[in-house]
Amino acid sequence: MDKRVGQRTIRACCTGALAAIVAGCSFEQSALHPAGRDAEELASLTWFMFGAAVVVWAIVMGATIYAVLGKKRPRSEKFADRLILIGGVAFPTIGLAILLVFGLALLPSWTSAEAPDLRVNVRAEQYWWRLGYELPDGTVVETANELHLPNDSTIEFVLSSTDVIHSFWIPALGGKMDAIPGRTNVLRLTPTKPGTYRGVCAEFCGPSHAFMAFPVVVHEADSFPGWLSAQQVPAVAGNPTFAGAGCGACHSVRGVSETGSVGPDLTHFGSRKTIGAGTLPNTRDNLLAWLTAPAHIKPGVGMPSYASLPEADRAEIADYLMGLQ
């Protein structure tokens, strides 16, 4: 290959790789840009471990370079024994013990006598999240696929699953916890920075595992009650085309039809940021594509295709759903 062509190719590859890395830097889903108490501790543990690894790497590389390039002088057997004892036994034992103690100190406590500020029931299903906000009077406000949380509050997530093992993870807020069929796991998180983050399913659960995400909106603590009370309000009106197509058999729209419980609650669908649990931005065009061929967008999804409906009916259903604010 011509030398200049080779250099140009290398330069193009480097620029492309850098662009790809920078494009991924939205920090919405980054454990290294913590926005929660647990995530801050995990990030400090990560950097501590990384620093320790760099020190160990430098020592090993230094020893290797010395062994290869250093002056060859005869050494006594005693020196060799000591080198093995110190470098091969004492140093790794002490080093790993320090790292272990640091890691164990950051383990979250499993139980807490203190009541959380808010409890959210999270039921993982292939491939979406059923969410229930517990109110002080014991009633539960159901929603789906988009978490809203108050800042600087302890939130207890009560995790369960209806089908296979999933894992609930909001990297910016803290560690992950499995949602396992037949049992209930509890995870507490404390957001410390208002903003929009991204949660994901972190356990392979089927063909659309990668499309099982959810936006997480952390509100200032005093603006959160406004969001929650807006979610409590039932839908203003029904729609004959939505009802006629049988959507209500699977989806509830509170105040209009409340029997459907197979799919996500749609009472305030229009106010959500995404369609299909973090799969597409919630726009009218994306919703029309979703109604026409959901399995094309999200393989294995429970939602059937409504391609057989007249186009005008699909458009009417899309307008109705976008209006459910």
CB of 263 vs ligand CUA, minimal distance in Å: 16
Candidate list 201, 247, 253, 301; residue touching ligand CUA; CB under 6 A = 201
Of 27-66, binders to ligand CUA (CB under 6 A) are none
As separate numbers, helices (DSSP H) first and strands (DSSP E) second, the chain gives 9, 12
Of 125-154, binders to ligand CUA (CB under 6 A) are 127
- Tell me, residue by residue from 166 to 185, as one string, x for binding to ligand CUA by CB under 6 A and - for no binding: x-------------------
Query: Is the separation of the CB atoms in 212 and 277 below 8 Å?
Result: yes
Stretch that binds ligand CUA, among 59-67, 115-123, 205-213, 295-303 (CB under 6 A): 205-213
CB of 297 vs ligand CUA, minimal distance in Å: 17
Measure the CA–CA gap between 165 and 205, rounded to whole angstroms: 6
Total chain residues near ligand CUA (CB under 6 A): 9
DSSP string, 264-297: ---TTGGG-SEETTTTEE--HHHHHHHHH-HHHH
Please work out, in degrees rounded to the nearest 5, the angle formed at the alpha carbon of residue 176 by the alpha carbons of 171 and 180: 145
Kindly give, in sequence order, each residue whose CB lies less than 8 Å from that of residue 190, ignoring residues fewer than 6 positions away. Answer: 36, 37, 38, 152, 153, 154, 155, 173
CB of 212 vs ligand CUA, minimal distance in Å: 4
CB of 165 vs ligand CUA, minimal distance in Å: 8
CB of 166 vs ligand CUA, minimal distance in Å: 3
Instruction: Calculate the alpha carbon distances from 259 to 197, 243, 249, 301, 318 in Å.
Output: 32, 12, 7, 20, 21
Of 247, 261, 43, 318, the closest CA to residue 140 belongs to 261
Candidate list 203, 231, 235, 320; residue touching ligand CUA; CB under 6 A = 203
Measure the CA–CA gap between 43 and 169, rounded to whole angstroms: 15
Stretch that binds ligand CUA, among 51-59, 137-145, 203-211, 281-289 (CB under 6 A): 203-211
Of 222, 191, 202, the closest CA to residue 120 belongs to 191
Residue closer to ligand CUA (CB basis): 123 or 209: 209
Using CB under 6 A as the binding rule, whether residue 212 contacts ligand CUA is answered as yes
Using CB under 6 A as the binding rule, whether residue 213 contacts ligand CUA is answered as no
Task: Name the DSSP letter for residue 84.
Answer: I
Of 74-113, binders to ligand CUA (CB under 6 A) are none
Residue closer to ligand CUA (CB basis): 239 or 279: 279
Residue closer to ligand CUA (CB basis): 157 or 224: 157
3-state secondary structure of 219: strand
Query: Which stretches of the chain bind ligand CUA, using CB under 6 A?
Result: 124, 127, 166, 201, 203-205, 209, 212
